[in-house]
Amino acid sequence: MAEIRNDRLHAEREGEFVVFLVGMRINRLRKVHRWLPVATSAPRMVREQEHEGLLGSRFFRSGLREFTILQYWESFEALRAYARGADTEHRTWWGRFNEMASEDDTVGIWHETYLVDGEGYETVYRHMPATGLGAAEGSELVPATGGRESAAGRLGRSEGADPAGVTAGADAPTAADGGVER
């Protein structure tokens, strides 16, 4: 079991990185023979990416139909090199998926790519094992204290930039922000 870290922490990284989200939606649950091969290709792709610039990966499910993989990459070039690699699982399945997609709409896929500069993100973790960016290769978990105590501080913004109702200098959830930590 992963070690639970009870202190408030923030993930720090040097330089730019990429956040990549990719997912699939099963539109026709009864056509298992069409969607199961696509669904089972995802874990093979993630295993294959381990040495291709992938810093970390996490799988999420939303109901019976939707699956998402969150990934952190060292650069857009590393992600692109993997996606275009001639002998990769991705390349094989991308061709197969496009053939299947022209025949019916059993499976939908999507992706989003975010280029993040070294200053354009903030994180906070409490009572959590290393997760997300905090678990990605090359990230360091540091105390979320002092200038890192609030979301605005972690982003290098003035304390007045927080939404109304959020106490500057603290991430304590309030009624004004729906009780969600910022």
Spell out the domains of the chain, with CATH numbers in brackets.
17-116 (3.30.70.100)
Tens-level pLDDT at each residue, the chain (182 residues): 789 999 999 999 999 999 999 999 999 999 999 889 888 888 888 887 776 789 999 999 999 999 999 999 999 999 999 888 888 888 887 888 888 888 899 999 999 999 998 888 999 999 999 999 999 999 999 999 999 999 999 998 876 544 544 444 444 444 444 444 44
SS3 sequence, the chain? CCCCECCCEEEECCCCEEEEEEEEEECCCCCHHHHHHHHHHHHHHHHHHCCCCEEEEEEEEECCCEEEEEEEECCHHHHHHHHHCCCCHHHHHHHHHHHHHHHCCCEEEEEEEEEECCCCCCCCECCECCCHHHHCCCCEEEECCHHHCCHHHHCCCCHHHCCCCCCCCCCCCCHHHCCCCC
pTM of the entire predicted model: 0.79
| Per-residue pLDDT, 38 | 84
